[in-house]
Amino acid sequence: MRKPAFTLEQIRSFVAVAETEHVSRAAASLFLTQAAVTQQLRHFEQAVGLQLLERDGRRVRLTDAGRSLAETCRAALRSVEVVDDSALAMKHLQAGSLHLGASPTCAAYYLPPRLADFTRRHPGVKLNVTVEPSADLNRRVLVGTLDCALIEGASDPELVAVELTRDELVLVVHRDHPLAKLRRVSPPDLVPYLYLGRGPQWSAERYVREMLGDSYDQVQSLNLGHPEYVRAAAAAGLGFAALSKLAVASDISTGLLKRLPVASILRPISAVRRRARGGPAQEGFWELVTGARAVASGKIAADGHATA
């Protein structure tokens, strides 16, 4: 194996600067002097033969090469953490860390009870949760910056996935919206009204397209990103929206929102991870969440390989 020309401390300094875009703040977070971090950065750029950072006044910003390398460096640091965790927590998960991802719906409704159960069993494990769209979580689990994630919709075929449950998407509008007064609603009836969506990068839109059929491409859309922003816009009467039934149950109960009589659709809620075995914290959380069941795309074998 070829010995790298850079050091772990250089990677750690680069990641800290990449996250803060500020050398002095990165130095403070690492308990180093600004001069020491600057030297680490210079040596790291020399080692990889790339310009990774550019000065922008008192701040620094990543070059294109820097942005590309930053994600790989974060994954490398996470791998080092896993080694350290394994040494600290080999027996009873008395220490260690766990980096999880969750889509917004999973973060609000499906992850918390599972996370609470895990922390009751292993209070010494340090937790970190990243909330992003499912596609981004798939990518981050695949490259190794996250240990595993709970997502909505399809998983990356390179990952191991376990379907935990199904989430129901329903159409809702404010009680005073014109659509709320209709006894029967079909997808073509929705075309004259504003659709409050998330945006093409969100997996839910694929299921909404299935719900609405050809009408999906005919409605005027306002993409708001996070589903909570969508819910707030629907509650304000801006248009109709497709949201998790769990997210709007209270609003429907109070009468603020009305569910439209359009067939709902179910989407899978799944846990995803890489095929290779992880550290003790990851394996403990995975076993708790999935119940060590067979997975859709293979099983994790004792030697760390997936089996058919």
149 & 187 share domain: no
Residue length, the chain? Answer: 308
- The pLDDT value recorded for residue 248 is 97
172 & 242 share domain: yes
Is the pTM for the entire model greater than 0.75?
Answer: no
The predicted-structure confidence for 8-36, as pLDDT tens digits, reads as follows: 899 999 999 999 889 999 999 999 999 99
144 & 279 share domain: yes
141 & 24 share domain: no
CATH number of the domain residue 278 falls in: 3.40.190.10
Question: Looking at residues 73-88, what average pLDDT do you find?
Answer: 79
CATH number of the domain residue 240 falls in: 3.40.190.290
**Is 3 among the domain residues?**
no
Domain count within the chain = 3
**Is 210 among the domain residues?**
yes
From 76, 92, 125, the end of a domain falls on: 76
Local confidence band at 89 (pLDDT 50, 70, 90 cut-offs): low
**Is 94 among the domain residues?**
yes
157 & 273 share domain: yes
pLDDT value at 90 more than 90 = no
Residue 42's domain comprises: 8-76
**Is 122 among the domain residues?**
yes
**Is 45 among the domain residues?**
yes
40 & 30 share domain: yes
Local confidence band at 296 (pLDDT 50, 70, 90 cut-offs): very low
The predicted-structure confidence for 188-247, as pLDDT tens digits, reads as follows: 999 999 999 999 989 999 999 999 999 999 999 999 999 999 999 999 999 999 999 999
189 & 241 share domain: yes
pLDDT value at 288 more than 50 = yes
91 & 157 share domain: yes
**Is 1 among the domain residues?**
no
CATH number of the domain residue 36 falls in: 1.10.10.10
138 & 277 share domain: yes
